[in-house]
Amino acid sequence: MQIKVMTNILERNDQVAAALQERFKKAGIFVINLLGSPGCGKTSLLEKTIEALKETLSIAVIEGDLFTAKDAERIEQHGVPVVQINTGGGCHLDANMIHDVLDCLDLGVLDIIVIENVGNLVCPAEFNIGEDCKVTVLSITEGNDKPLKYPLIFKQASAVILNKVDLLPYTNFDLKAAEKDITAIHPGVTLLPVSCQNGEGLETWFNWLIKQVQINKGKENN
């Protein structure tokens, strides 16, 4: 006997993610799912962002990592609430993992939660975790061929940050080609070249982020 099913395999994750999104929306919190390879500078970007904006915005961080609390320890130095999730070898965060740690945060006082996903350009792209938007970091040292090799994570991102642009003179990274590929995969995406090392471009990223939080607050008030 044949039984027609036609069910989305990730339906259960999507349901939990939708419930999380509703909870964040009610609390007026803007949530970012921060994605990128290991070593692309996700944590460095977060550190710079927290230092620049912690007086303006109430920020909390959820750190996803396979086994360690190294990133959470770095974030903690900056005096903002941080929760560590260890996936125990799992290559991505899923919605349930976020749900399970939310009670560790005081949602009533927050403007923004950044969830730093496990360093990986593949798996995290498939799993919604209740975020308002995804931000993907690609660093210059990874090579400009990565967007076409891992298109989904660039297609899903509202903003793509090209980090380590201070290293451009020392690599064969073709910035024009990278920008062309990323905008073909995702026309209209916000592309932000930055260097967490010398600070180049970071102001534009901070302004983008503040604007998203304001837009989100506007939605809440309406």
- CB-wise, 29 or 137, nearer to other proteins? 137
Residues pairing with 157 in the sheet? 134
Query: CB under 8 A: which stretch of 28-36, 84-92, 105-113, 129-137 binds other proteins?
Result: 84-92
Figure out which of the listed residues 52, 99, 126, 210 binds other proteins, where binding follows CB under 8 A: 126
- CB-wise, 13 or 141, nearer to other proteins? 13
Figure out which of the listed residues 57, 105, 125, 194 binds other proteins, where binding follows CB under 8 A: 125
Figure out which of the listed residues 7, 172, 221, 222 binds other proteins, where binding follows CB under 8 A: 7
Residues of span 12-31 touching other proteins by CB under 8 A = 12-13
Residues of span 104-123 touching other proteins by CB under 8 A = 122-123
Contact status, residue 96 vs residue 119, Cβ threshold 8 Å: no
Figure out which of the listed residues 48, 92, 134, 164 binds other proteins, where binding follows CB under 8 A: 92
Figure out which of the listed residues 187, 218, 221, 222 binds other proteins, where binding follows CB under 8 A: 187
Strands of the sheet with 30-36, listed across from one edge: 82-86, 59-65, 112-116, 30-36, 133-139, 157-163, 190-193
Contact status, residue 64 vs residue 115, Cβ threshold 8 Å: yes
Residues pairing with 192 in the sheet? 161
| Separation of alpha carbons 178 and 174, rounded Å | 6
- Coil, strand or helix: which one is 37? coil
